[in-house]
């Protein structure tokens, strides 16, 4: 089935370690997004990419990095520079053409840094 | 920043229609209105979107005012499974997606 997959669902890391969150889609979507959600809060945009080999910072990009080497993949690295990395991370993708450009979301990765 | 204003929370009795308002007074002519919902601890789910005409699908109806400065999402027969946070978003079709705080809808048995 077509969809967007995030892995792992739960991730634990020690403070000071970098960690990479995976996001893969087989929907042939051009655009991909990463969001962070803290308890009881809305989604905040970290990075987005509208085409392969190109990406832009969102509202809270500091302490994060991304790459977009393939259309299907948009991994997010949470670096040691991110001061409060514990959060729920959501990846999404959308087409940029046609009648519907709604975003499809993965089920998220819950990162806990101890 | 989000370009929309929504009530923080709303209640609706099970089986009744849930009407969720959204204010987007600064919407521009090429911006669409999108609605998503997020059930606890899951990824958001797309519901419906529209430009200026009213829209209906199997999940909901979207009513956009003639001046496009506000809209209402209607869930015709709310069930307990519709308890979620509902987000109203305005965006140009292929632009980045910015979420606001949304409306927390409680369906009461």
Q: Regarding beta strands B9-13 and B103-108, do their DSSP bridges make them parallel or antiparallel, or are they unpaired? A: parallel
Higher pLDDT among residues A2 and B4, named by residue: B4
- Contact (CB, 8 A) for A92 and A104: yes
**B87 at A interface, C-beta within 8 A:** yes
Could you report the per-residue pLDDT of B63-92, keeping only the tens digit for each?
999 999 999 999 999 999 999 999 999 988
Higher pLDDT among residues A40 and A18, named by residue: A18
- DSSP 3-state of B80: helix
A101 contact residues in B (CB cutoff 8 A): 93-94
A9 contact residues in B (CB cutoff 8 A): none
Confidence of residue B3 (pLDDT cuts 50, 70, 90): confident
Q: Where are the beta strands (DSSP E) in chain B?
A: 9-13, 18-23, 31-38, 45-50, 55-56, 61-64, 70-75, 84-92, 103-108
Q: Is the pLDDT of residue B42 over 80?
A: yes
**A85 at B interface, C-beta within 8 A:** no
**B93 at A interface, C-beta within 8 A:** yes
Compute the average pLDDT of residues A25-50: 94
Could you report the per-residue pLDDT of A79-110, keeping only the tens digit for each?
998 989 999 999 999 987 665 678 899 999 99
| Closest of A1, A5, A62 to residue A32, by C-alpha | A5
How far apart CA A95 and CA A7 sit, in angstroms, is 22
**B39 at A interface, C-beta within 8 A:** no
How far apart CA B82 and CA B72 sit, in angstroms, is 16
Q: Is the pLDDT of residue B95 over 90?
A: no
**A102 at B interface, C-beta within 8 A:** yes
A31 contact residues in B (CB cutoff 8 A): 94
Tell me what the pLDDT averaged over chain A comes to. Answer: 92
Predicted local distance difference test score (pLDDT) of residue A2:
66
Confidence of residue B2 (pLDDT cuts 50, 70, 90): low
CA distance A8 to chain B (A): 14
Q: Is the pLDDT of residue B1 over 80?
A: no
Q: And the tokens for B63?
A: 């009513």
Tell me what the pLDDT averaged over chain B comes to. Answer: 93
CA distance B47 to chain A (A): 9
How far apart CA A30 and CA A3 sit, in angstroms, is 14
Q: Name the percent of chain A lying above pLDDT 70.
A: 95
CB contact under 8 A, B94 and A31: yes
């Amino acid at each position: 089935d077509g969809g967007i997959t995030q892995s792992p669902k739960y991730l634990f890391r020690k403070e000071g370690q970098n960690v990479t969150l995976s996001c893969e889609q087989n929907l042939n979507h051009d655009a991909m997004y990463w969001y962070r959600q803290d308890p009881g809060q809305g989604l905040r945009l970290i990075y987005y990419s509208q085409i392969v080999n190109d990406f832009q910072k969102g509202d809270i990009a500091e302490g994060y990095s991304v790459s977009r080497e393939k259309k299907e993949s948009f991994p997010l690295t949470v670096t040691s520079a991110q001061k409060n990395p514990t959060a729920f991370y959501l990846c999404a993708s959308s087409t940029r053409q046609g009648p519907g450009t709604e975003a499809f979301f993965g089920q998220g990765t819950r990162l806990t840094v101890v | 920043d989000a370009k929309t204003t929504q009530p923080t929370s709303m209640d609706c009795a099970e089986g009744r229609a849930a009407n969720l308002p959204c204010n987007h007074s600064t919407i521009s002519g090429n911006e669409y209105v999108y609605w998503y919902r997020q059930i606890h601890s899951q990824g958001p789910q797309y519901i419906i979107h529209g430009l200026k005409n009213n829209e209906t699908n199997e999940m909901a109806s979207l009513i956009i005012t003639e001046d496009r400065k506000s809209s209402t999402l209607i869930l015709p027969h709310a069930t307990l499974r519709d308890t979620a946070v509902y987000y109203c978003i305005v965006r140009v079709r292929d632009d980045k997606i910015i979420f606001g705080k949304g409306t927390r809808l409680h369906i009461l048995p």
